[in-house]
Amino acid sequence: MKKQVIAILVAAVLALMAVVALVLYAKGANDRALDGTETVEVLQATEDIDVKTPVSEIADKVELVKIPKAAQVPDALTSLDDVKDQVTKVALLAGDQLSEAKFDDADSVKGPASLPAGMQELSIQIDGERFVGGAVTAGDKVGVFTSFTLDGNIRITSNPINNLLVLKVDNGALVEDPAEEANGATTGTVITVAVTTMQAEQIVHAKEFGTIWLTRQTDKTDTSGGMTITYQNVAPFEVP
């Protein structure tokens, strides 16, 4: 039994040494291939990266590699610092070199935004007047306003969520809400946003049991000063 254990350990060590030797050989082969060639370092994608992915989310998807200078693309990047507040302007494939031309400000990049890490996608079917007349596009930030009717016919409105990232906007979606069909509406818009679990619960609840309006927001939008309001806040008078 003891001899068998020793034999297994020896086999494992030999296998590990073989792997290490293979890696060192491959690295040596690459180095030998570049002998006598002028080389430069560039950032290269190690996996596919979607368009509009924030630079803050791609650090673990790129690596610094050494390539022949003749193969270097214009304005190739060696660090993400120069584009740290931007997003990918195009979809990147594994092996692509990163360059300044492949990044831009989020507001300047068209197309669906990518889902931030840790978030969920949620689609909301909504009429044009309820989201700034249809002016919301992918990459925008929106605020969510909800209205409910409580027991005693008390109506309230509040702004529970701000700065939701819009991932995609589909116009001309078929309306499935019988109430909306009864009013003559047969098409609408489906907006897909990135949400946390709590935000998803709030929006779904409002869609099921109340109504929703969306506002278009920017990084400079002041969302302070809001509160849950009733008719008394809109038209403060005594009801006879």
- Selection from 14-18, 145-149, 177-181 with the highest mean pLDDT: 145-149
Q: Residue 63 — very low, low, confident or very high, per pLDDT cuts 50/70/90?
A: very high
* Whole-number pLDDT of residue 7: 55
Q: Does residue 196 contact residue 120 with C-beta atoms inside 8 Å?
A: yes
Please say if the pLDDT value at position 1 is more than 90: no
pLDDT value of position 147: 95
Decide if pLDDT at 20 tops 70: no
pLDDT range class, residue 227, cuts 50, 70, 90:
very high
- Model pTM greater than 0.75? no
Topology of domain 36-108 in CATH is Type Iii Antifreeze Protein Isoform Hplc 12 (3.90.1210)
Q: How many residues are there in the chain?
A: 240
User: Is beta strand 141-150 parallel, antiparallel or unpaired with respect to 211-217?
Assistant: antiparallel
Question: How many alpha carbons lie under 13 Å from residue 151 in its C-beta half-sphere?
Answer: 0
**More confident: 127 or 225:** 225
Q: What is the pLDDT of residue 16?
A: 60
Residue span(s) of the chain under CATH 3.90.1210.10 come to 36-108
- Given a cut of 80, is residue 74 above it in pLDDT? yes
Rounded Cα distance, 78 and 89, in Å: 18
Q: For residue range 101-147, list pLDDT tens digits in order.
A: 899 988 787 777 778 889 999 999 887 778 887 788 888 899 999 99
For 142-169, the pLDDT digits (tens) are: 999 999 998 878 899 999 999 999 988 8
